[in-house]
């Protein structure tokens, strides 16, 4: 089993480097503008007033925190980062099991003395380790960006940390739903389109919720369950919503185990 884990993790190395670069770029390229924004609070607030309310809502910019505050600006930065986190996690979820069948290497792997469960555990552990390293990297990058660009303004570090830690659930949501969809379907032809679809789908669902108002549309999307604006404002994870995500994660994992251990692997 360790054999498989080692191989799988090795396969992730390049992907992890690319994602690390992506996260670093997003966070720093956004935060670098913060000093300009904070320099003229009044002007920023005025500019924002000129935008239609719906547009601001759709981008999560109409919450209690002003873009001119450090956490307000970071919440906007992190909402975008979340979109990429979702794509990465969904991508791993969709690909790790389906790749063996798409490239017909499942015959090789499964004729070896490993059980399906062991394969599932080894592959998931490798992917989760990858996601966890990405999470650490995001944390460090965000913290560095905050410290470099804060321009002397103090911020609520515990709220900041709470938001970052919520990423772990957020990743799990997209990873496990990716996994379960990949074992429900007979074949995943293009991992990228599936992962973009799931990530953007959830993102747009939350944007629509913001425009329409109310919580109904947000029930299913982790972009709402772990909305950066709210976590930074209240300093707390919105547990009643987060629990929906956690339930979906658990159901997805269990369903994946049941389906994958009984899955027929077809030859060419």
Partner 1 sequence: MNVIETKQLTKFYGKARGIENVSLSVKEGEIFGFIGPNGAGKSTTIRTLMGLIFPTSGSAEVFGMDILKDGPKIRSEVGYLPSEVFYYDKMRVIDLLKYTAGFYKKDCTVRMHELADLMELDLKRRIEDLSYGNKKKVGIVQGLLHSPKLIVLDEPTSGLDPLMQKKFFDIIEGENKKGATVFFSSHILAEVQALCNRVAIIKDGGIIKLDDIKTLREDNYKKITLRGEGLDPQHFEINGITNMTHSQNGQHELRFFFKGDINLILKQISHETVKDVLIEEPTLEEIFMHYYK
Taking the alpha carbons at both ends of the chain, their separation in whole angstroms is 26
Task: Build a one-symbol-per-residue string for 90-129: x at contacts with partner 1 by CB under 8 A, - elsewhere.
Answer: -------------xxxxxx-xxxxxx--x-----------
Nearer to partner 1, 108 or 132 (CB): 108
Q: Could you tell me which of 63, 82, 49 has the C-alpha nearest to residue 213?
A: 63
Nearer to partner 1, 116 or 238 (CB): 116
CA-to-CA distance for 238 and 222, rounded, in angstroms? 11
- Shortest distance, position 223 Cβ to partner 1, whole Å: 34
The count of residues interacting with partner 1 (CB under 8 A) is 21
CA-to-CA distance for 120 and 181, rounded, in angstroms? 15
- Shortest distance, position 55 Cβ to partner 1, whole Å: 45
Q: Which of 7, 33, 132, 239 binds partner 1 (CB under 8 A)?
A: 7
- Shortest distance, position 128 Cβ to partner 1, whole Å: 21
Element (H, E) at 44: helix 41-50
Nearer to partner 1, 49 or 264 (CB): 264
CA-to-CA distance for 200 and 204, rounded, in angstroms? 6
Could you say whether residue 20 binds partner 1 (CB under 8 A)?
A: no
CA-to-CA distance for 113 and 90, rounded, in angstroms? 29
Could you say whether residue 187 binds partner 1 (CB under 8 A)?
A: no
Buried b (16+ CB within 10 A) or exposed e, 112-133: eebeeebbbbbbbbbbbebbee
Q: What is the DSSP letter of 218?
A: G
- Shortest distance, position 124 Cβ to partner 1, whole Å: 18
In the numeric block, which tokens belong to residue 265?
């692997």
- Shortest distance, position 54 Cβ to partner 1, whole Å: 47
Considering only residues 63 to 82 of the shown chain, the ones binding partner 1 according to CB under 8 A are: none
Residues, the chain: 268
CB 116, CB 261: distance < 8 Å: yes
CA-to-CA distance for 6 and 16, rounded, in angstroms? 15
Could you say whether residue 258 binds partner 1 (CB under 8 A)?
A: no
Stretch that binds partner 1, among 15-23, 147-155, 245-253, 257-265 (CB under 8 A): 257-265
Nearer to partner 1, 187 or 262 (CB): 262
Q: Which of 154, 189, 240, 264 binds partner 1 (CB under 8 A)?
A: 264
Could you say whether residue 267 binds partner 1 (CB under 8 A)?
A: yes
Could you say whether residue 265 binds partner 1 (CB under 8 A)?
A: yes
CB 125, CB 5: distance < 8 Å: yes
Question: Which residues contribute to the site for partner 1 (CB under 8 A)?
Answer: 3, 7, 103-108, 110-115, 118, 262, 264-268
């Amino acid at each position: 089993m360790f054999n498989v884990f080692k191989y799988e993790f090795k396969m992730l190395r390049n992907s992890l480097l690319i994602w690390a670069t992506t996260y670093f770029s997003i966070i720093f390229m956004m935060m670098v503008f913060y000093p300009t924004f904070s320099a003229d609070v009044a002007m920023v607030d005025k500019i924002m007033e000129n935008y239609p309310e719906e547009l601001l809502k759709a981008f999560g910019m109409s919450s209690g925190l002003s873009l001119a505050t450090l956490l307000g600006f970071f919440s906007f930065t992190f909402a975008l980062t979340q979109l990429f986190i979702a794509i990465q996690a969904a991508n791993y979820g969709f690909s790790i099991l389906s790749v063996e069948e798409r490239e017909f290497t499942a015959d090789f792997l499964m004729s070896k003395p490993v059980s399906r469960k062991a394969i599932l555990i080894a592959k998931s552990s490798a992917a989760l380790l990858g996601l966890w390293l990405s999470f650490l990297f995001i944390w460090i990058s965000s913290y560095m960006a905050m410290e470099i660009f804060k321009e002397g303004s103090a911020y609520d570090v515990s709220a900041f940390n709470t938001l970052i830690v919520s990423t772990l659930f957020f990743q799990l949501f997209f990873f496990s739903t990716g996994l379960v969809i990949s074992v429900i379907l007979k074949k995943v032809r293009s991992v990228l389109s599936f992962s973009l679809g799931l990530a953007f789908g959830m993102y747009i669902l939350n944007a629509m919720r913001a425009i329409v108002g109310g919580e109904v549309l947000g029930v299913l999307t982790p972009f709402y369950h772990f909305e950066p604006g709210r976590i930074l404002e209240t300093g707390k994870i919105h547990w009643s919503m987060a629990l929906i995500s956690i339930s979906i994660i658990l159901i997805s994992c269990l369903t994946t185990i049941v389906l994958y251990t009984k899955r027929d692997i077809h030859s060419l």
